[in-house]
A and B are shown apart, each in its own frame.
Chain A
Amino acid sequence: MKIFTLLWNNLRRGVATFRYPSAPPVTEGFRGLVHFDPLRCSGCAMCRFRCTARAITFESAGKQYTWAYDPAQCTFCGRCVDGCKDHALSQDASCPPIYLSAGSLRSSFTLQRRTPPPKSQPAPSTARLQAGGDHESRE
């Protein structure tokens, strides 16, 4: 007869499902949408290598490279964030937003590849990104 008590409690508590746009509270360390910081990226493509869901694409053309991320394909495993030695990737601690058209969350960045600093001197922090050629676009 425990089941009837359980059902009665369920009925009394009301519906547990959230209606849009409300969302359930997330726990600590929740892995949400991946964010990219172009100022920090060195273009090593390790994130693409670690992304088994093929959500991150990386295309290199000469001195330029294009980094793109499609949250629709992302499984939010966090392997890209863990593997980024430049700390250019981070993850939201909230549920990914709901989108109504395909590809509306997709983001893409076209960046100039940085010239590696000479081994003898440490690279100045301002020279991380080449000022004139940087281009950022969001699709």
Chain B
Amino acid sequence: MNLLIALARFLIFPGLLFAVPAAWMVLWLERKSVALLQQRIGPPFGQPFFDFIKLLAKETPPRSGINGKLMRAWPLIAVSASLGAVGLLPVLPARGGFEGDLILLLALMELPAICLIIAGFSSRSLFGEIGSAREAVLLVSYNLVFLMAVVSIAVSQHSFRLEALAAAPLSAWRYLGLLAILLCLPAKLHVNPFSLPNAEQEIYSGPMTEYAGFELALWQLSHGLEWIAGVGLVAALAIPSSAYVWLDVVSVLFVGFILVLALSLIAAATARLAIDTTVRFYWQCTLIFAVAAISSALFMRLRS
């Protein structure tokens, strides 16, 4: 990939310049739609941005017995990884990418969750540790399905290049894989019924209990960017490439918007599940989609 294109993708579109406002927009859209479904007014437009600015102005209180630099490093890594993941999204067809960028994307999408787990344990807070333990169990639960679903799509196209996957013609098997990815998204984005790690009524903010000010602002931004990366991946793989770049971009944005609304609807309609039920849901119920997707992809590959 040309270095200039790579930089433009990372810094302009779909990276930094687009992704950061889009992350705030998605966070607002999710909160607002859940509020409207519950007959509440919800936050005014741009509230996540104002929250970010407000948190930047706040001081982080001194935390005894905690390595401050380490605590600051985790949200920074999480934001960087999420931004990198968004920058790799194949929104603009034939504009870059390299062989194996899907693997890099998956790794970058996992990093924020791993950072969150370590941050919770680093904070030496009881609530943080419980939240981190829950996040770790959640990660193990949904990732098996998520990775199998992504690999099934890659195997069916004989490529681990995102651009090739986005440009490939759609098939029923691919939709099976996308369905499995969609089932994992609520857990990946910590929305109901899988909001275990940050269950406010039980463990305050979980791993983020000890965070405040600038660091908390970074965590919130990272969460918004995770939304963009997760929803953007599904949207980019679900929309067939067209001859017009602008049409592809608009289609991906539109599908992303619909996905955010659908996830908000699920969040408003469900209550939080217990951790054992969550594990059972993914390992017993959802795994079947991933297994069907990967076995069908392998079968198609063997036939061709």
Contacts and interface: CB of A to CB of B under 8 A. Distances in A.
Interface of A: 3-4, 7, 10-11, 13-17, 19
A14 B41 CA distance: 9
A19 B36 CA distance: 15
A7 B40 contact: no
Contact of A3 (B36, B39, B269): B269
Contacts of A17: 39-41
A11 B40 contact: no
B36 A15 contact: yes
A4 B269 CA distance: 7
Contacts, number: 26
B268 interface: yes
Given A3-B269, A4-B269, A11 B37 contact: yes
B265 interface: yes
B265 A7 contact: yes
Contacts of B41: 15, 17, 19
Nearest to B38: A10
A19 B41 CA distance: 9
B299 to A, nearest CB: 35
15 contacts: A3-B269, A7-B37, A7-B265, A7-B269, A10-B37, A10-B38, A10-B39, A11-B36, A14-B39, A15-B41, A16-B40, A17-B39, A17-B40, A17-B41, A19-B41
Given A11-B36, A15-B40, 14 more contacts: A3-B270, A4-B265, A7-B37, A7-B268, A10-B36, A10-B37, A10-B38, A10-B39, A11-B37, A14-B39, A15-B36, A15-B39, A15-B41, A19-B41
A13 B269 CA distance: 17
Contacts of B36: 10-11, 15
